[in-house]
Structure 1
Amino acid sequence: MASLLSLIPLICHVLIGLIKGYQRIISPFLGPRCRFYPTCSDYAIEALIKFGLLKGSGLTLKRVLKCHPLNPGGTDLVPPKPEDNLENTHDGSAT
């Protein structure tokens, strides 16, 4: 079990590398197609970095499933981690 868990960061790095390869090699030939900002591939990279393999992949899948002609698109940012919300709401003043 421990050896499998130690592979998760490696799998994340491999997936991010594959996405960056897609961005550099395949995407330029396809032209801009994503209905969202950031693009689905940029979203995937950020989600994998921020949340790891399982949750990052789940968020990415949910996002890609929304990217279709019936959805108008728009801005759809990777959600903040709960601890990011705590840091941003604390203003440093004593109460």
Structure 2
Amino acid sequence: MKILNKILEKVLINIIKIYCFFSPFFYRGVCRFNPTCTDYTIQSILKYGPIIGIYKSAIRLSKCHPFGNHGFDPLSQKEKK
């Protein structure tokens, strides 16, 4: 199971990196948070694994709307894997 999790982590992170490569052509300067949602997603996948990491990034992405929060919103340091 750990091997499958590591493979899934690598696949998801590579998809995110491909998105980061192509996204500047479509979206410029629209990120509301620091760290960016892509950095946050990569950190959460590495810290919590692919399932919980994607869940946490989905929660973060749900905050990204015109009436949502903005500013510094790091991954929680208190929770452990």
TM-score (norm 2): 0.86
Larger relative contact order (CA 8 Å, sep ≥ 6): 2
Q: Deviation above 4 Å: which 4+ runs of structure 1?
A: none
Cα shift readout 1:3-61 (whole Å, capped 9, x = no counterpart): xx532211111010010111112x21111211100111110001101111121111101
- Structure 1 gaps, min length 5: 84-95
- Structure 2 gaps, min length 5: none
RMSD between aligned alpha carbons? 1.9
What is the aligned length?
A: 80
Instruction: Flag the structure with higher helix content.
Output: 1
What pairs up with 1:1-95 in 2 under 5 angstroms? 2=1, 6-25=3-22, 27-29=23-25, 30-83=27-80
Q: Which is greater in Rg?
A: 1
Aligned-residue identity in percent: 38
* CA distance, structure 2, for counterparts of residue 79 and residue 69 of structure 1: 24
Displacement of 1:81: 4.8
